[in-house]
Amino acid sequence: MVKRHWSFWAAILLLGAGAACKRGSTCSEEAARQSVIDYLSKRANLNVAAMNVTVVSLACRENDADATVAFTAKGANSGQPMTRRYTLERQGGQWVVKQSADVGGSPHGAAGGGMQPGTALPPGHPAVGGGAPKP
């Protein structure tokens, strides 16, 4: 009788621990990383296999999460990574990207994607701004 009583409580504890682990792992850096990779893999103009994808920060809520993700090219020198912010949404048993945005402005210098006024273009670069190229 004592043995049966012990095995009943052991089974209850195992079930509870399994549920807690499952609940705790549903929003993880790996789950967020995979959802971003799945999202980017649908774009024909990207080779996700050539990228290192790293979750820099993750804030989880019940049915959504905010992830900041850094990208670098595999095999490239360790320069400044490109960073994007993703809003994830729980759909069924997995996370999917709901929207994404740049982090900290344009990777091209000025806010809004343009160059700072008075910045010189590299030699041989075509004119910018709709005008005809200058000889």
Is residue 121 in a domain?
Answer: no
Mean pLDDT, residues 61-71: 94
The number of folded domains in the chain is 1
Is 52:33 a contact under the CB 8 Å cutoff? no
Question: How far apart are the C-alpha atoms of 76 and 32, rounded to whole Å?
Answer: 24
Is residue 51 in a domain?
Answer: yes
Is 73:52 a contact under the CB 8 Å cutoff? yes
Comparing 19-23, 84-88, 100-104, which segment has the lowest mean pLDDT? Answer: 19-23
Question: How far apart are the C-alpha atoms of 96 and 99, rounded to whole Å?
Answer: 9
DSSP 8-class letter at 45: T
Residue of higher predicted confidence among 73 and 124: 73
Is residue 73 in a domain?
Answer: yes
Is residue 58 in a domain?
Answer: yes
pLDDT of residue 33: 96
> For the chain, what percent of residues have pLDDT higher than 90?
41
Is residue 80 in a domain?
Answer: yes
DSSP 8-class letter at 49: G
- pTM for the structure as a whole: 0.59
For residue 51, give its domain range: 26-105
pLDDT of residue 128: 64
Is residue 134 in a domain?
Answer: no
Is residue 37 in a domain?
Answer: yes
Quick: pLDDT tens for 9-45. 545 554 554 444 344 447 899 999 999 999 999 998 9
Q: Which residue has the tokens 């504890």?
A: 13
Give residue 67's identity as a one-letter amino acid code. Answer: A
> For the chain, what percent of residues have pLDDT higher than 70?
57
Mean pLDDT, residues 118-123: 60
Token reading at 114: 């343009």
Indicate whether 107 pLDDT > 60. Answer: no
CATH code assigned at 49? 3.10.450.630
Is residue 114 in a domain?
Answer: no
DSSP 8-class letter at 131: S
Question: How far apart are the C-alpha atoms of 16 and 22, rounded to whole Å?
Answer: 10
